[in-house]
Amino acid sequence: MFAMRQEVKVVFERDPAAKSVLEVLFCYPGFHAIIHHRIAHFFYRHRLFFVARMISHLNRFLTGIEIHPGAKIGKGLFIDHGSGVVIGETTEIGDNVTLYQGVTLGGTGKEKGKRHPTIGDNVTISVGAKVLGNIKIGNNVKIGGGSVVLKDVPSNCTVVGVPGRIAVRDGAKVDEVDLEHNVLPDPVADMFTVMQERIDILEKRIADMEKGELPDAPLQHVRRQKGRFANSGTA
């Protein structure tokens, strides 16, 4: 009962749309998925694998969220909307993690043993992101929507793109869950901005040279060099 109260509290902390406890208990598939998983994981730990998988299968049918009963999930997991979320068997999730719809914490092959990611504390994984393989995601990490993460990510970073790349690494400590998953850097757009600024500078220099406002020293130097070379060739 205490665990259920904690799960309800998490929903109110991270979803401004939650209006009442009754609404959360009956109308939040992410909440239902976590409660079902806690039960399925209990049977899984006691090696009642068929019962665990049946509960997990029912959970998927009711919520659209697939969590393997073997996955280890810490306190304060919040699954927003949740449709299409997949969490693999050997996944480990820390405390105060937020997952949005379409997130996959999956494997990359048929190998046995640990083959799914380990997620740290205070991590936000945005819509449609894929975290694949036996990799480690540090604490206070934000993964942008649609990203595909295939390598370890250190703590206090923001990851975007396909394949995922670190766009921000400031080492700042995060004291609470960061839900601003729509506020992410765009390194590709930043590079285009830098290139455009450089092009503007070069165009201005060319225009000034055509007006005679800048010396044509570099070009004259090249011509003199060519002249010397030509003269030395004919001597």
Give, in order, the Cα–Cα distances in Å from 45 to each of 48, 73, 150, 210.
Answer: 8, 13, 28, 78
Please tell me the predicted confidence (pLDDT) of residue 150.
Answer: 93
Angle at CA 53, nearest 5°, toward 139 and 83?
Answer: 55
pTM listed for this prediction: 0.71
What confidence tens digit (pLDDT) does each residue in 193-212 have? Answer: 888 888 988 888 888 888 77
Residues making up the chain, counted from first to last: 235
Please tell me the predicted confidence (pLDDT) of residue 231.
Answer: 46
Q: How many other C-beta atoms are found inside a 10 Å radius of the C-beta of residue 219?
A: 10
As a whole-number percent, the residues of the chain with pLDDT over 90 amount to 56
Residue 148 CA, distance from chain mean position: 7
Give, in order, the Cα–Cα distances in Å from 209 to each of 47, 196, 212, 214.
Answer: 80, 20, 5, 5
Lowest mean pLDDT among 11-20, 146-155, 220-229: 220-229
Contact in structure between 132 and 107 (CB atoms under 8 Å)? yes
Q: Residue 234 pLDDT > 70, yes or no?
A: no
What confidence tens digit (pLDDT) does each residue in 66-125 have? Answer: 999 999 999 999 999 889 999 999 999 999 999 999 999 999 877 788 999 999 999 999
What confidence tens digit (pLDDT) does each residue in 22-49 have? Answer: 999 999 999 999 999 999 999 999 999 9
**What sections of 137-210 are H helices per DSSP?**
187-210
Contact in structure between 57 and 41 (CB atoms under 8 Å)? no
Please tell me the predicted confidence (pLDDT) of residue 179.
Answer: 53
Tell me the mean pLDDT in the region 12-18.
89
- Of 179 and 130, the structure prediction assigns the larger pLDDT to 130
Q: Which two tokens stand for residue 97?
A: 């993690």
d(CA 225, CA 168): 47
Q: Residue 213 pLDDT > 80, yes or no?
A: no
